[in-house]
Amino acid sequence: MIIRESTESDLSELLEIERLAFGIDEGPVIADLVNGLLSDPTAKPLLSLIAVNDDRVIGHILFTKARITSDKSIAVSILAPLAVVPDLQRQGVGGKLIAEGLKLLSESGVKLVFVLGHPDYYPRHGFKTAGSLGFEAPYPIPENVAGAWMVQELSPGFIGSISGKVLCADLLDQPEHWSE
């Protein structure tokens, strides 16, 4: 398996992965969101990676630009979404996409990465509950799923020194994208 940045020629395959991974109800919505984010100027700079195995695209991860209301000078990203074809889920593909994405973001100067995702999955990849660390999601996260709003520090010293509301790309800044 190789992980590489996606290209325009990968678009139809990566959107199909989103549809398959998120199922018949959510898949088309997530695919439309990804398609829009890839061309949303407020999401840039963004990082779109795909996992390829035997010439088959099997996974996709997208990181888009964000910022924190209290500090506009540090580079921040939001991971959304992460998708792996159903027949290869739970085999480490997602973890490898996350690791490569975080490595590349760190090398590019990104300091914090946020995600609204499964609270049992993302902590295995270094994410911690963001709300308790002073970071408010773009939309309120209900208390019963507050652990789904998470952050990972890519450079030491930022968590605890800043806090505030995370602002995301225009297309992602819709309440329907902020429920877990």
Domains and CATH numbers, the chain: 2-177 (3.40.630.30)
pLDDT at 89 over 80: yes
Segment 61-70 shows an average pLDDT of 94
Segment 138-166 shows an average pLDDT of: 91
pTM of the complete model beyond 0.85: yes
Q: What is the mean pLDDT of residues 32-44?
A: 95
- Residue 180 pLDDT > 70, yes or no? no
Q: Is the pLDDT at 146 greater than 70, yes or no?
A: yes
Q: What's the pLDDT score for residue 75?
A: 92
> pLDDT tens for residues 111-123?
999 999 999 999 9
Which letter does DSSP use for residue 123 in this model?
A: G
Place of tokens 């660390």: 133
Residue 164 reports pLDDT greater than 90 = yes
Query: In this structure, are residues 26 and 80 in contact, taking their beta carbons and an 8 Å threshold?
Result: no
pLDDT of residue 106: 97
Query: What pLDDT does residue 177 have?
Result: 82
Residue 13 has pLDDT above 90, yes or no: yes
**Cα–Cα dist 70/50, whole Å:** 33
Find all residues with CB under 8 Å of 109, minimum gap 6, and list them. Answer: 75
pLDDT of residue 119: 93
Mean pLDDT value of segment 75-94: 93
